[in-house]
Amino acid sequence: MSILNIVTHPSYFLRTKSSVVKKKYIPTGEFQKLVDDMLETMKHAQGAGLAAPQVGKSLRIIIATDKGKPFIFINPKLYRKSFKKVKAEEGCLSVPGVWGTVKRHAAVSLVALDREGSKVKLRATDMFAVVLQHEVDHLNGILFIDKAKKIGKPPQL
Ligand code: NI
């Protein structure tokens, strides 16, 4: 495994719509290594999530953590987005040193493939739902700073 370079704003990769991953590509060593490297990179950077464009790959792959546990989702789609919204303090490894308040759906359903290529479906709430929305935005070239109301430095700095 290796730690990949995280692309920072402004960058072409962060503003590009990522491509769907072909199912036959998932079992390849190259793809599996990319997933392992993304996991290692996110862990090293102490992120709550990571999307492939953040490591310079325009592919629809995200990692989202739920209570510290990382989950890999390939070609994720969100649906059944709750009417209820929550305000969350967000940051992003690609926009270092900046935090902002973003309104997100309080709950979302997700359908995706896992790293074995099997279909997964789940309902996410709270921080997990927020992370999923943030990471799926990355696949569409959207950054949290596009949506954030109050942008500033993290409170602890
Ligand atoms: Ni991000």
Which helix (DSSP H) or strand (DSSP E) does residue 84 occupy? Answer: none
Q: Count Cα atoms within 13 angstroms, Cβ side, for 94.
A: 28
Q: At residue 127, does pLDDT exceed 60?
A: yes
Architecture of domain 12-152: Alpha-Beta Complex (3.90)
Instruction: Tell me which residue of 25, 35, 80 sits closest to 62, measured CA to CA.
Output: 35
Q: Are 95 and 143 in contact (CB under 8 A)?
A: yes
pTM for the model: 0.96
The model's pLDDT over 7-63, given as tens digits with 9 standing for 90+, comes to 999 999 999 999 999 999 999 999 999 999 999 999 999 999 999 999 999 999 999
Kindly name the residue from 30, 89, 116, 135 that is annotated as catalytic: 135
Q: At residue 70, does pLDDT exceed 90?
A: yes
- For residue 20, report the distance from its CA to the centre of ligand 1, in Å: 19
| Average pLDDT over every residue of 121-138 | 98
Where in the chain are the domains?
Answer: 12-152
pLDDT averaged over every residue in the chain: 96
- For residue 8, report the distance from its CA to the centre of ligand 1, in Å: 10
Q: At residue 134, does pLDDT exceed 90?
A: yes
The model's pLDDT over 84-111, given as tens digits with 9 standing for 90+, comes to 999 999 999 999 999 999 999 999 999 9
Active site residue 135: yes
